[in-house]
Chain A
């Protein structure tokens, strides 16, 4: 399992990705497909507007009552027979999961797709403690075989093409011949994983929505691996971020209409799995024990800022990355951390800190495509701008690592800019000087160099706007 870097190097990694024609072709093809499928789902603008307003309100309502709803969820689940655990950090969550498994004597774990367990690096932790966790979602299985991390939150192996997957399967699955036939590759995974499901001592899954009203965990998927992981083994551990809670069961319907349509352009996923408890007496299958681990990992801090808390509305559909002009060109691994693309650019710096992921909010053109397609109306560009401000604000406390991006040269530069624009005299002298001598400045002048590295040097006009206006008879009314 690849362990991710604790600081991001977006610029360096982006340069490598941009020069990789295979990677770019893989992403271009996939993203074009996902964008057109989504567009076909939301061709009725009136329906989209009403549905999305409802979805955003449902998530905002849940966040407005988050602490009470978490308590209600815990009480309901407990009454249903589910054990609820709380973890402040990923290390705590890993320890909780390990303890549950060890108590049950579990050695073999089958996993449904879960981004929160990726955030925890759970597999590596279990491996280090002698427990083998096998990913069962086809995409996750592929990247686990390849020793990689997901490059997309919905389609984890989207960066690979079938030739790469064919080579991987032939090399890593016993008795598997080389084939590029997708049906045969899929059948090979089914065959390889069938006994892993049957042998597993425990299943681990994520959660899409946790309904406080009824104590119900809602999981959506297409393959059936999520249902198998949560039904066949005798023990099921679900792991979720604390923000995934919903007030009412009825709130599930509009979100279920938004999520798969935004994600993959499907009207619904093949399976919507609603779990409200362990096997009851008399029932013949289902896990005998169900646990829910609620992970904070910085989310409660995000929650304390009323503007930034909108980040927590996210339902992880990935539409923002599918439509991002940056993500679609550089791919998910460029972002270094678990959540790539626009949602990652606002979530990662808040969880990991601006001091180690401060370059992420800058990996954006602020074009607004992400906000336009977000099914729960997260104002991502506004939050990117806010994080850029927090990074350089000398007294920022709202975000972990706030103020860490402040540099003396930049502060002086902007200070000078402010002075220049707030004093008519200095402004006039400066523009006159730049008109006379600006074009003599070499392109490699410090600060100007950053601009001219990839652009042509701007040409200063011989006369300023003021001078031109005065020549034409306009006068400044200075009283």
Chain B
């Protein structure tokens, strides 16, 4: 008895061979000095809030931003460098309660689905062409952090903003080893399914706050 797999493959293999066209030249755009301007413009056009801040000052800036939004519970990754820095900075003074994502989702579901109002993650890099953040979730910084809370705060190193997806895929040799999940995020969750009218926060975060970490402005 042959399987569906064998029958499908044997039909495909019995088809006449065809010539393989070469990949014609194509190059994604380059921005040079205008890279940060493009990155910011694209993200802002997608309704994200983009701030440039120094490595020393971001926890304070974030404290002020979230205070303005009345956030009192923030999901964070306690084992990452950014997570440790946040915990250290917010240990003094008035700050939202930091909720660590330190157990499997099965034990954290109600907290993530209904309770925390914001989450802080890092991005591996930024893509100027499309205003995208490359998220590369790890055991310390899990996938759902950037998805379930209504506000997603993401830190990206200014030096790691590149021109295009093609560029970053090639220079970082992604094909050599993909993680369980990699995600490009280019704004808050949105839909235009009702009369093509844009509405934000349909299932994912309603707000995306991007902190671009660079030398002090």
Using CB atoms and an 8 Å cutoff, list the residues of chain A in contact with chain B.
Answer: 29-30, 33-34, 50-51, 53-54, 57-58, 60-61, 63-67, 70-71, 86-88, 92, 136-139, 142, 155-157, 161-162, 165, 182-183, 185-187, 189-190, 193-195, 197-198, 213-216, 222-225, 227-228, 231-232, 234, 242, 248-250, 252-254, 256-257, 264, 267-280, 282-286, 294, 296, 300-301, 303-304, 306, 309
Neighbouring B residues of A213 by C-beta, 8 Å:
175
Cβ A155 vs Cβ B202 within 8 A: no
CA–CA, A60 and B20, complex, Å: 7
Cβ B164 vs Cβ A285 within 8 A: no
Q: Which of B19, B21, B138, B202 has the most CB of A within 10 A?
A: B202
Cβ B22 vs Cβ A276 within 8 A: no
Neighbouring B residues of A223 by C-beta, 8 Å:
189-191, 202-204
Cβ A277 vs Cβ B180 within 8 A: yes
| CB neighbors of A among B165-212 (8 A) | 165-166, 169-170, 174-175, 178-197, 199, 201-205
Q: How far is the CB of B202 from chain A (nearest CB, A)?
A: 4
Neighbouring A residues of B148 by C-beta, 8 Å:
228, 232
A303-B12, A304-B11 known; A138+B191 contact, CB < 8 A: yes
B69 at interface (Cβ–Cβ under 8 A)?
Answer: no
Q: Give me the 9 closest cross-chain CB pairs, A-B, nearest first.
A: A224-B204, A139-B193, A54-B26, A253-B166, A268-B130, A186-B199, A272-B184, A86-B5, A285-B105
B101 at interface (Cβ–Cβ under 8 A)?
Answer: yes
Neighbouring A residues of B170 by C-beta, 8 Å:
250
Task: Pick the contact of A87: B4, B106, B144, B179 (CB < 8 A).
Answer: B4
Residue of A nearest to B194 (CB): A182
Task: Pick the contact of A250: B25, B175, B187 (CB < 8 A).
Answer: B175
| CB neighbors of A among B9-56 (8 A) | 9, 11-26, 28, 42, 46
Residue of B nearest to A139 (CB): B193
Neighbouring A residues of B130 by C-beta, 8 Å:
267-268
Q: How far is the CB of A355 from chain B (nearest CB, A)?
A: 21
Using CB atoms and an 8 Å cutoff, list the residues of chain B in contact with chain A.
Answer: 3-5, 7-9, 11-26, 28, 42, 46, 101-106, 108-109, 113-114, 129-132, 137-139, 142-144, 147-148, 164-166, 169-170, 174-175, 178-197, 199, 201-205
Cβ B4 vs Cβ A92 within 8 A: yes
CA–CA, A58 and B28, complex, Å: 15
Cβ B24 vs Cβ A53 within 8 A: yes
Task: Pick the contact of A222: B113, B166, B184, B191 (CB < 8 A).
Answer: B191
Cβ B194 vs Cβ A57 within 8 A: no
Q: A155-B192, A162-B194 are in contact. List 14 more A-B contacts (CB 8 A).
A: A33-B196, A155-B196, A182-B194, A186-B194, A186-B201, A186-B202, A194-B113, A242-B12, A248-B175, A249-B175, A250-B166, A264-B192, A280-B180, A283-B139
Neighbouring B residues of A33 by C-beta, 8 Å:
196
CA–CA, A228 and B146, complex, Å: 11
